[in-house]
Amino acid sequence: VESSFVHAQRVARLATADANGCPHVVPICFAFDGSRFFSVLDEKPKRVADRGLRRVRNIQENAKAAIVFDRYDEDWSRLGFVLVRGRAILLPPGEGRHDQAIESLRARYPQYGSMAIETRPVIELTPESVTSWGHLG
């Protein structure tokens, strides 16, 4: 149930924290290979290099991360979420798992087809705990 709920979501939210425990959260597109979650740094902010992105700095300082997958509905009996907590690392381009992640992301999101994401770092989150709440059906 949790796995099919997660797969059905098009967007999730990734929370990280810096070395001082200051949290940060952004929406992400993601792929899930059945054991790990992948998200690519597709944004190209004009003034910020990859290493300057807060989520990247946070992961380098503190690997602990969380992703929430949720559904909102005005019928609150249909609300539900799955919270995955674990450890995140950055996969550089050229690594085997990086290339698989890019393939999975392109399979889920045709929008990535025209973007050179194969040259971009991937965030890989390995779950350590999964909790869920509400209605996931």
53 lies in the site for its own copies, by CB under 8 A: no
Determine how many CB atoms are found less than 10 A away from the CB of residue 79: 15
From candidates 7, 8, 27, 51, binder to its own copies by CB under 8 A:
27
Report the C-alpha gap between 137 and 89 in whole angstroms. 31
Question: CB of 100: closest distance to its own copies in angstroms?
Answer: 23
Q: Is 60 in the site for its own copies (CB under 8 A)?
A: no
Residues in the interface with its own copies (CB under 8 A) total 35
Token pair 């929430």 is found at 68
Question: Does 66 sit near its own copies (CB under 8 A)?
Answer: yes
Applying CB under 8 A, among 13, 57, 108, 120 the residue interacting with its own copies is: 13
Residues 118-137 touching its own copies, rule: CB under 8 A, are 133
- Rounded CA-CA distance 73/49 in Å is 37
Q: Which residues bind its own copies (CB under 8 A)?
A: 10-11, 13-27, 43, 45, 62, 64-68, 70, 72, 74, 76, 79, 81, 83, 85, 111, 133
